[in-house]
Amino acid sequence: MQRIRLRYTKRGRLRFTSHRDFQRAFERALRRAEVPMAYSAGFTPHPKVSYANAAPTGTASEAEFLEIALTAPRDPERLRGLLDESMPTGLDIVDAVEARTPGLADRLTASVWELRLDGVDPAEADRAVAAFDGAEAVEVQRQTKNGVRTFDARSAVVRLARVETPGAAADRPSDRPCAILRLVVRHVTPAVRPDDVLSGLRAVADLAPPVPAAVTRLAQGLLDEETGTVTDPLAPDREADPAAPAASEGAAEAAAAKAPA
């Protein structure tokens, strides 16, 4: 049984796609591309697809991951192209490697997020970031199925800073002031999400953007504690395959051209 690991995106309006909606679209793409999927046993067999740490509905992402199991070997890059052609524009399959090492989910220990705050003056954002960074703890509340839960949003944040140039989250140009924040956060329990950090900025510095923030996950992978950077979780599989290319640059460029404005 061959296992293929894929990286996919949620861009433009497709950021509002729920995880269940993506699952349905992806399973249709598997059928259209005639992928020789392995299926589970039992009365209701389903294709063996493992999803890892999906982004919340409403957030865009450049770094979502899943793994599929095949009954017959396929070239990962060719398979990526076939699946990408079968997916809606905005849900782009941008990278594929054969799984040659264990524990993909274990390598997803942190995420890099970008928050576009339209209508927020950069100086005001700097003041809020400084207050957040200087706090020992920032308690926020979130509604859960078991009621309101209070937890510390500060301890999971490795780095929070304002950046001068917008990245993937800049899909809503405006003449109004705009601040772009870059956030590196550990995956902990309970999970600290970008909206929790925004709640924390409101709590410590009364920062309240006039419109909802546009949030994009830029990267997801293993956290390098020394540098505070997040590494590519597919790199160990590439390194274990001497015939694999260093990166799927062509695929990423094609997906970027396909992405809606």
pLDDT at 41: 87
Q: Which run of H or of E encompasses 126?
A: helix 122-134
- 84 shares a domain with 126: no
pLDDT at 156: 96
- 135 shares a domain with 94: no
pLDDT at 230: 96
- 134 shares a domain with 86: no
Number of domains the chain is built from: 2
DSSP-derived pairing of the beta strands 157-163 and 93-98: unpaired
Residues 122-151 have a mean pLDDT of 92
What's the whole-model pTM score? 0.86
Residues 18-23 have a mean pLDDT of 94
Q: How many CB atoms lie within 10 A of CB 94?
A: 23
- 250 shares a domain with 208: no
Write the pLDDT tens digit of every residue in 155-210.
999 999 999 865 444 444 557 899 999 999 999 988 999 999 999 999 999 999 99
The residue with greater pLDDT, 96 or 247, is 96
- 216 shares a domain with 121: yes
Write the pLDDT tens digit of every residue in 41-59.
888 889 999 999 999 999 9
Residues 73-97 have a mean pLDDT of 96
pLDDT at 106: 94
Are 261 and 171 contacting, i.e. CB atoms less than 8 angstroms apart? yes
- 164 shares a domain with 139: yes
- 242 shares a domain with 221: no
pLDDT at 34: 95
- 117 shares a domain with 31: no
Distance CA 94, CA 76 (A): 11
Q: Which of 132-136, 152-156, 174-178, 254-258 bottoms out in mean pLDDT, i.e. has the lowest?
A: 254-258
pLDDT at 100: 94
- 41 shares a domain with 99: yes
- 224 shares a domain with 119: yes
Q: Which of 4-18, 19-33, 174-188 bottoms out in mean pLDDT, i.e. has the lowest?
A: 174-188
pLDDT at 258: 45
- The domain that holds 117 is classified in CATH as 3.30.70
Domain that includes residue 209, residue range: 110-229
The residue with greater pLDDT, 148 or 28, is 28
Tell me, what DSSP letter sits at residue 40?
Answer: -
- The domain that holds 64 is classified in CATH as 3.30.70.580
Distance CA 94, CA 200 (A): 33
- 220 shares a domain with 164: yes
- 125 shares a domain with 83: no
